Structure 1
């Protein structure tokens, strides 16, 4: 079997530059995929980026990154426990365009890491996907997520909806 050419690891405060750069890339690539405007992220301070990077080390959250053997950051996912009722909530999912797809395996490797962590806190993994983000919805469905009937207004545009998806762990 061929080595994947990347590793998955939790982020820490020293990764703040890479976390920043990947976040800016993801907001530019898929503006409707996240609950933040690119302009707001661009104005964040180093201290704010360090706080974001350390999310990978918190007890009730995890942030992981996919990093190529050459050191390029090509994907990220985060999961946290907002409350006991909700359980593990997947957020901040992004894979750079030239590393997407099942054959490359970045999404699956990131998700496996998240699921392993989330299983300790619940039997399901929940996420919200923008109603117009068909590419992401198909990717989630291909990985075992199903739509629930629950929707919420999209935080950046209340006229649009986020669809809830869930996966049994």
Structure 2
């Protein structure tokens, strides 16, 4: 999370239309609050249900810089909400992103690469819309219902 904090500090100095929303309360929360206190940032704590859906619905970009997550369900939730995602090339979440289409995959542990991806999206609302639309469509094809239908189709053949 320190990479996200560092990249966002730099981004917030160059882009005036950004506001970071951090959802959750992991072990880095206090460190994040301290390092981001001079930036436009909101910490919501743990959210679920409609509150979490509201945050997804109000977001433009979802950044998940984990290098150790094995799956990253939040990446799927963000894409299902029509939000392009930024993930690293380490860990499981990258398996759920089509780089350049549903989001961006950056080098793990590389704050400059993360910043570059964030700047690319922030500077292009049209790209955010296009990737968000692709992300939503991608997730519609990856639903449980679609998986069951594809399995049945496979057995029929």
What TM-score do the two structures reach when normalised by structure 1?
A: 0.27
Structure whose alpha-carbon radius of gyration is higher: 2
More helix by share: 2
Higher strand proportion (structure 1 or 2): 1
TM-score normalised over the length of structure 2: 0.29
